[in-house]
Structure 1
Amino acid sequence: MSPRRPPEPVLDAALVGVALADAWAHVDVQDRPALACAVLGALALAVRRRLPLVTFALTLPTALVTDAVVAPMAALYTLSSLNRHRLLLGGCALSYAIIDFLPWPWSSMDATELGQTNNLFHLSYTLATAAAPVFLGQLVQARRELSLRLADISEAREHERLLTAQSVLAKERAQLAREMHDVVSHQVSLIAVQAGALQVGSRDPETRQAAATIRRLSVQTLDELRHMVSVLRASGSSPTELTPQPSLADLQRLVDASGIEAKLEAELPEELAPTVQRAVYRTVQEALTNVRKHAPGATATVRVGHRDGVLTTTVTNTAPTRHALALPSAHVGLVGLAQRAELLGGTVTSGPTAQGGYELCLELPVDRNR
């Protein structure tokens, strides 16, 4: 993990301090004009990020009349790291090199000495010194742009990966929709037809009632399957309007249509969150389904109450009166209820009763899920 970089104002203040220390070491305090130029150049570094070219211009007198180099070189580096105009950068570097090379005052300059080897070496050194911050600034700028480009590439690849995953998921949903339409819907339709024939042809009232319940549930299942197929087929295209999610207002209808003898006892607080209402509804639905599958002939009681900020839902059934048939099951119903309750901060417990029946209890905190 890379060390955390200090804030920019702290870095700027530190650089101004270093420039002032450099001026203090190279400028005679008695030389007031030179000292003023050095202090001006050092303080100008405080605005180098916002006004890099102006900052560089304000540091040039420091290079002209003093031997302090921190302020002008820092200004030239900042200008190079924030500017892409190569001609401007070259001109600024050359200006700094010439100003740093020429003696001050200019009246002391001897034209015959310019061609001496010593001065040529000094000029080469000054040009290299001026080019160094320019090259370093350009390198930093290129690194910054490369980092941004890499970030864009990573984002584009992640987006491409997401699109690929969505494409694969859309194909799987389309295949699942075909399977549901061709196999499951067809078999449920046959169940509904056979139940209708049994309802019409039987003379036993209990058999006719059971056949009517099977037919009604089959028709409801078909409607839900058709909607699920339409949702799966529309995946990846325009959004499909989903079936309204159930609420506690639908509990009585759920109990009445469960196909078993069941009663509802509910004392509900006001303004329950939709997620809590759905959790209660799905819990009751799963519990009544399990009673119908695993406890034939049993009766059930659904109790929903609120106490001390906790909403409690209990579904209790009596002992079965007939032997249960072996029905296919994925054994994930109670696991799904427990996971849903856990997401809402609640719990699901279940187990047999002393009377030979079974009880499922859901507890959800109401105040947390408002």
Structure 2
Amino acid sequence: MSRARALWQRVPAPVIDLALVAAAAVDVRLNNWEPTRLELALAAVGCTALAFRRRFPLLVFLLTLPVALMQDVAVAVLAALFTLAERSRNRRLLAVCVALAAVASSTPWPLAEVDRTMTLVFFVYGLATTAAPVLFGQLLQAQRDLARRLAEIEEAREHERTLHAQAVLARERAQLAREMHDVVSHQVSLIAVRAGALQVAARDVDAKEAARTIRSLSVTTLDELRTMVTLLRASGGDATELTPQPTLADLRKLVESSGTHVQLTGELPPTVSTPTQRALYRTVQEALTNVRKHAPGATASVELWQDGEGIGVTVTNTPSTRPSLSLPGSQQGLVGLRERADILHGTLDAGPTTEGGYRVRLRIPLSAD
């Protein structure tokens, strides 16, 4: 059945329409041996109109009604009714059209004395005959609607399966990120701290150099681990591709996009190591974020400096000029900055100033490079 339907669907629509027009004309000719000019003209209009039944189904049906007057069962009327039922969802309109077709087919032609009993019989017969193509057209319409609905359901299920797979992947990535953060990062941090302590305590030059190398590698590894954890916590979309980590060269852009009036002064040598540059950048980023959150209207200054044995940055802001909103805070930003500073054997000081503002100061010894 499906194979025959597939072959039928391959036939061009104009070919089907021309064949239907020809069938309707043959039907009229076989049932009307000696048509008058008026009957011939009405039949020609009704049969030719079938070529336009797809675009104007109701108008074509009305044009075929005269054909139903000339014969009991007319191919033109049945074809027009089927097309109208296939394309219309107005049940009342279809019922009226069935009644009109039954009345036309049961009315004597040419008009003469009416036999009420036979006319009623022909009317009932006409109702049954004209209702058949309407029911078949409605059935075909319902079949198309069902197929469309099934396709939509299948598409929705496929989308749901994709979302479920993405959710499972996101949970796995989040679990892996937690394991890396809670276990691996913690252990690498301990290695870096112990290596730093060994570097300070060791008296042998080779031992100090080995400890410095271990600490430096541990710091770099820890920084990369944190980057991987951030990527794993992402949703898994196209936005999770690796992006360059910020350096001191990105400070000016950070200051300009901070949403706060900030003055950037000072500079550091280009030989500063990558972990140190990231620590300085993250310190400025966290400090400016806190200014924007907790000191609206305040101005800030970012000073990069270098003393005899270390380099650092100081971020100072003035008191707020308008009330701040009560925003939730995890208090983890400064904790993370202190951890970075400890790993690099640096110090982080943060606290209010005498003028009512706030100051964050990071210092990292040159030996950390």
TM-score, normalised to structure 1, is: 0.56
Which residue matches 2:43? Answer: 38
Asked if the contact 1:199–1:208 (Cα under 8 Å) also holds between the matched residues in 2, the reply is yes
1:105 aligns with 2:107: no
- Structure 2 residue runs of 5 or longer lacking an equivalent are 246-273, 275-369
- Structure-2 change in CA distance of 1:72 and 1:192 (3 Å): same
- Structure-2 change in CA distance of 1:224 and 1:8 (3 Å): farther
Deviations 1:254-275 (A, max 9, x none): xxx9xxxxxxxxxxxxxxxxxx
Asked if the contact 1:28–1:35 (Cα under 8 Å) also holds between the matched residues in 2, the reply is no
Which residue matches 1:244? Answer: 243
Report the alpha carbon displacement of residue 54 of structure 1 after superposing the two structures with TM: 0.7
1:163 maps to a residue whose letter is: L
Which residue matches 1:14? Answer: 19
Which residue matches 1:277? Answer: none
2:141 maps to a residue whose letter is: Q
Which residue matches 1:156? Answer: 156
Report the alpha carbon displacement of residue 166 of structure 1 after superposing the two structures with TM: 2.9
Report the alpha carbon displacement of residue 17 of structure 1 after superposing the two structures with TM: 3.2
Regions of 4+ moved over 6 Å: 238-241
Which residue matches 2:117? Answer: 115
* Residues 1-370 of structure 1: pairs in structure 2 closer than 5 A: 2=3, 3-4=6-7, 5-6=9-10, 7-28=12-33, 31-66=36-71, 69-106=74-111, 108=112, 110-111=113-114, 113-116=115-118, 119-197=119-197, 201=202, 203-204=204-205, 212-235=212-235, 242-244=241-243
Name the larger-Rg structure: 2
- Structure-2 change in CA distance of 1:46 and 1:212 (3 Å): farther
2:116 maps to a residue whose letter is: L
Deviations 1:64-88 (A, max 9, x none): 2356611111111111111122111
SS at match of 2:117: coil
Asked if the contact 1:56–1:72 (Cα under 8 Å) also holds between the matched residues in 2, the reply is yes
Instruction: Tell me the distance in 2 between the aligned counterparts of 1:210 and 1:46.
Output: 93
- Structure-2 change in CA distance of 1:27 and 1:215 (3 Å): farther
RMSD: 3.2
Instruction: Tell me the distance in 1 between the aligned counterparts of 2:123 and 2:90.
Output: 24
- Structure-2 change in CA distance of 1:135 and 1:96 (3 Å): same
- Structure-2 change in CA distance of 1:8 and 1:226 (3 Å): farther
Asked if the contact 1:27–1:34 (Cα under 8 Å) also holds between the matched residues in 2, the reply is no
SS at match of 1:84: coil
Instruction: Tell me the distance in 2 between the aligned counterparts of 1:35 and 1:212.
Output: 109
Instruction: Tell me the distance in 2 between the aligned counterparts of 1:185 and 1:87.
Output: 74
2:20 maps to a residue whose letter is: L
- Structure-2 change in CA distance of 1:197 and 1:60 (3 Å): same
What number of residue pairs does the alignment pair up? 240
Which residue matches 1:341? Answer: none
Report the alpha carbon displacement of residue 98 of structure 1 after superposing the two structures with TM: 0.7
Asked if the contact 2:102–2:124 (Cα under 8 Å) also holds between the matched residues in 1, the reply is no
2:117 maps to a residue whose letter is: G
- Structure-2 change in CA distance of 1:245 and 1:88 (3 Å): same
Instruction: Tell me the distance in 1 between the aligned counterparts of 2:28 and 2:219.
Output: 91
Asked if the contact 1:188–1:218 (Cα under 8 Å) also holds between the matched residues in 2, the reply is yes
Instruction: Tell me the distance in 1 between the aligned counterparts of 2:18 and 2:217.
Output: 77
Instruction: Tell me the distance in 2 between the aligned counterparts of 1:122 and 1:214.
Output: 105
Instruction: Tell me the distance in 2 between the aligned counterparts of 1:88 and 1:16.
Output: 24
- Structure-2 change in CA distance of 1:218 and 1:25 (3 Å): farther
Aligned-pair identity in percent equals: 53
TM-score, normalised to structure 2, is: 0.56
- Structure-2 change in CA distance of 1:16 and 1:196 (3 Å): farther
Asked if the contact 1:44–1:55 (Cα under 8 Å) also holds between the matched residues in 2, the reply is yes
Asked if the contact 1:62–1:72 (Cα under 8 Å) also holds between the matched residues in 2, the reply is yes
Asked if the contact 1:101–1:123 (Cα under 8 Å) also holds between the matched residues in 2, the reply is yes
Report the alpha carbon displacement of residue 91 of structure 1 after superposing the two structures with TM: 0.7
Q: Which moved more, 1:52-61 or 1:210-219?
A: 210-219
- Structure-2 change in CA distance of 1:25 and 1:198 (3 Å): farther
- Structure-2 change in CA distance of 1:34 and 1:233 (3 Å): same
